[in-house]
Amino acid sequence: MFDFDVTKMIIVGIVALAVIPPKDLPRVMRTVGQTIGKMRRMASEFQGQFMEAMREVEREADLESVKKEFQSISDTAKIDTSFDPVGMVRDDMTKAVAASGGAPEAGASEAAALDPALPGIGQSEIALAHPEPAATVAAEAKEAEPEAHAAPKSAAE
């Protein structure tokens, strides 16, 4: 803090000895020592508070840099919300139908009429699909009806 070397300290001691009587010198030295101790403690406390503030600023700056890094990663990782694969396929199919000369084939509309749960499936794909269990049971019941009506007639005869 102050640039004190040995010669300056000796000069201050001689002046203090000339101004302060020897019987009061121990009390003055004790008071000076206590005052210097208080000043050192205050300086140390100030330095500690200053260093804590600097660490806090560094943490906030580091936190801010981490936030910026996460934001840049988030921006980079965002998926384009306009990406619509179903819409793209629909547009491609519409363009293909328009390029082939007009209306879609009758087979596709028949397939949709046969099985409305499967829109857009072609005739060949329906032929390959297994029939639904309910349809199979209904077909077997219709086949069994004529036999059931025929059996009571023969028993009555």
Q: What integer is the mean pLDDT of 134-139? A: 60
pLDDT category at 49 given cuts 50, 70, 90 is very high
Q: What integer is the mean pLDDT of 70-76? A: 83
pLDDT category at 37 given cuts 50, 70, 90 is very high
Express as a percent the part of the chain with pLDDT over 90.
18
Q: DSSP letter for 129, please.
A: S
Q: What integer is the mean pLDDT of 108-114? A: 49
pLDDT category at 111 given cuts 50, 70, 90 is very low
Distance, in Å, from the CA atom of 56 to the CA atom of 49, rounded to the nearest integer, reads: 10
Q: What integer is the mean pLDDT of 126-143? A: 58
Q: What integer is the mean pLDDT of 40-63? A: 90
| Domain residue spans of the chain | 6-77
pTM: 0.36
User: Do 110 and 123 form a contact (C-beta atoms < 8 A)?
Assistant: yes
Which distant-in-sequence residues (6+ apart) come within 8 Å of 107 by Cβ? Answer: 122, 123
Examine the pLDDT at 34 and tell me if it is beyond 90. yes
Question: How many CA atoms lie within 13 Å of 91's alpha carbon, on the beta-carbon side?
Answer: 5
- pLDDT tens digits for range 7-32: 888 888 888 888 888 888 889 889 98
Residue type, 13: G
Per-residue confidence (pLDDT) for residue 157, from 0 to 100: 47
